[in-house]
Amino acid sequence: MPEPTVLDYVKSIFKDWHSFTAFLRAWADRADTMQLVETSAPASETPPPNAELPVTNYQSPSFPWRSLLALLLALIAQRSFEPVGNPPTQNAMIGVPLYLAALALTIWAFLRREWTPAPLPPSQTNTDPLAVRGIMLLLALFWGGLAFLLLSKNTFTLWNVSAWIISVFLFIRAFWIKESPSLGRKIADSLSRIRITPWTALVVAVFVLALFFRFHRLGEVPYEMTSDHAEKLMDVFDITQGKYSIYFPRNTGREPLYIYLSALLTPFFGVSFLDIKVAAVIGGLLMLPYLYLLGKELGSERIGLLAVAFAAIAYWPGVIERFALRISFYPLFVAPTLYYLIRGLRRQRRNDFILAGVALGLGLNGYMPFRIMPIAVVIIVGIYLLHVRDAQARKQSLLWLGLLALTSFMFFIPLVRYAIEYPDIFGYRALTRVSSLETPLPGPVWQVFLGNLWNAAKEFNWYNGNIWVHSIPDRPALDVVGGALFLLGFFLVLFRYLRSRHWTDLTLLLAIPLTQMPSILSLAFPIENPSLNRTAGAIVPVFLLVGVALDGLMSALGHRPEPVEGPGKRRSVIAWSLAGGLFVLSFVQNYDLIFRQYKSQYEYNAWNTSEMGAVMKDAIARGVPVDNVWIVPYAFWVDTRLPPFWAGVPGRDIAIFRENLPTTLNIAGPKIFMAAQPDAETLSLLQSLYPQGQLQAYESAIDIHNFWIFSVP
């Protein structure tokens, strides 16, 4: 027997799971591990003719050391991208080489079929009967035209809303094809098949965790409001007072869906910060089931569950929902639009395109950056047409793309009417970012665009922007675990596309820059790119890639979906233990990011309107008339519409400018004035107007937010 070499020793350890675990046991028992070494026999040697060969019922996969090493290097690399110190610094000199090494190992693991994404579900063929309920279609067009005429003067009424809803219902009914079994029967059958299994318990646990992470300390983090919240709350207040706008033009305008949902919640939370927070959280939670379904469409339920699990605890969706704007309505409708579109193209089913049109139309009523999605839908269908050779499928897809567009248009009728009546308001915000309408472009269009594209590409792993209200400036959008898995998942899907040229892979990859485009197209203000709000739609493809990467790694570790015993069961335990360990690391970091770092930097930067509201509320309780409480505006100080919301008297602006202070002499009753700490001129004027007044310093929880209270008895 030849003397074993070092290479023989290494090969024997990592040959398969049995060899690796045997080595670990021998090492733990301090036994002679050289006994486990198999030497390389000469190629000419053959076993004896009657020799018995070992029999096994399961062929163990080789130990996925390349994949695990790639993950380890990626985690270390992403950890070096975390900002450290004050001012924060990141170490690209360490991170970039490590990521390149991780990428090389990932390519190696992919080529050895050690770490690959789950197989995509097979495509189906289906011939559309081209059936249309003609009478219903004509009625839908009639009611839609009537709704368009009635939806004037930026006002929803009982009549125009009724006509609009009738037109939408008739249009969908005109094109909907009855499936066998029906949708209702499918849902009933699915519910009847639900059993309490470990998988069911895991799914429920993930969604319960999502609820916890979204609602945990929701009233405290963040606590203060900004001018953006004043705009939203004034819109919600208008609805409670009977003003039902189609489009809300305050502060360059906003779509209605989020505002009306917030108004529906006011009986429970009042017109308050918590009210619009809950509405934003609802939008984020409703996205998660479609993220799960998209994971199934990409190969397995496990991809969907992993994507949901990591998105549920992530800092990025967490802070944009807690900031309480309509940002979460961007990924909310990106997810179903992509799901029904991808499923419709794969199954060649008309109804899926109708549902994609419904999601697209609703999304256009949700958040302005979603306006990029009609272009994204056309590009995705174009990708499909370039990859599929079936002439019938290509023809049907083009027809259904038109049906999708018409369906979305039916939901967009009110905003179309508004855009025709007020085109300058409807398109103003977008035009100021993409053109020189507000300020000259800082350079050639192509140069600014490419710079923005590069900066947006770095958003997830390096720099998520500098907007403190809905992000932690100067850090990656993803945590260490999420960032590493995302980048590895991106390249795994890219490698598979280069090998198999499947349209779904390219769709998933291109969905990222497409949903980032509202931020990338900030050509007039490139400093605003990237931003977590205008790129929020990318949450969907980004966390799907996180799920794809981890699912593939679990498969590489030998986990099989069916119940197994022996080595297979141990591998399942190891695979789920690795996933659980990564999840715990992600949870711990994201919890710290949201509930410590984001909370503290937000409190430092946001003005303390809640404390001013408390002063106002206390004054009213002591008999000061509500109209006798004022704040004297000061440059870059508080929004004077916010304290009344905290005081429980919403819908008013309590600003009084310094030059108007003498007019208060004619107002009877006690008075309260609040002024900024450095505003000495206002204090001097008040003391001259009211010699009997009392000046008191309000000491805020944060010193730089102190202010003056001037009381007139």
In order along the chain (713 residues), what is the average pLDDT of each group of 10 residues? 53 60 59 53 42 37 88 97 89 96 96 94 90 96 97 96 98 92 65 77 94 96 96 96 96 93 97 97 97 96 97 97 96 98 96 98 97 98 95 95 98 97 91 89 94 97 95 96 98 96 97 98 94 97 98 84 56 90 97 97 96 97 96 96 96 96 95 96 96 95 94 95
Mark whether 440 and 362 lie in a shared domain. Answer: yes
Residue 254 shares a structural domain with residue 145: no
d(CA 548, CA 371): 28
Distance (Å, whole) CA 79 – CA 82:
5
> For residues 239 and 132, what is the distance between their CA atoms, to the nearest angstrom?
39
For residues 455 and 41, give the distance between their C-alpha atoms in angstroms, rounded to a whole number.
Answer: 55
Beta carbons of 18 and 63 less than 8 angstroms apart: no
Q: Do 216 and 299 fall into the same domain? A: yes
Model pTM? 0.89
In a domain, 681, yes or no: yes
Token reading at 311: 């998105």
Name the residue range of residue 690's domain: 609-712
616 & 580 share domain: no
Q: Looking at the structure, do residues 241 and 356 belong to the same domain, yes or no?
A: yes
> Is the N-terminal amide bond of 249 cis, ω within 30° of 0?
no
- What is the number of helices (H) and of strands (E) in the chain? 28, 4
Q: Is there a domain that residue 565 lies in?
A: yes
Residues 295/508, Cβ–Cβ less than 8 Å: no
- CB-based contact 248:234 (threshold 8 Å): no
From 551, 570, 604, the end of a domain falls on 604
Q: How far apart are the C-alpha atoms of 29 and 35, rounded to whole Å? A: 13
Calculate the alpha carbon distances from 466 to 226, 471, 474, 505, 630 in Å: 16, 7, 6, 32, 33
Residue of 156, 277, 284 lying closest to 228 (CA atoms)? 277
The verdict on residue 664 lying in a domain is yes
Contact between 646 and 617 under an 8 Å Cβ cutoff? The reply is yes
Q: Let me know if residue 76 belongs to a domain.
A: no
Cα separation, 555 vs 64, whole angstroms:
10
Answer whether residue 362 is part of any domain: yes
Same domain membership, residue 157 and residue 13: no
Q: Are 157 and 250 in the same domain?
A: no
Q: Are residues 414 and 312 in the same domain?
A: yes
What is the domain count for the chain?
4
Which helix (H) or strand (E) covers residue 709, if one does? strand 707-712
Residue 698 lies in a domain: yes
**478 and 492 housed in the same domain:** yes
Same domain for 613 and 554? no
Last residue within a domain, chosen from 604, 639, 666: 604
Residues 168 and 225 in one domain: no
Q: Per the domain annotation, does 65 fall within a domain?
A: no
259 with 150, same domain: the answer is no
- Domain termination site, one of 569, 604, 639: 604
The answer to whether residue 408 is domain-embedded is yes
Q: Which burial class, exposed, middle or buried, applies to 330 when counting CB atoms under 10 A from its CB (0-12, 13-18, 19+)?
A: buried
* SS3 category, 673: strand
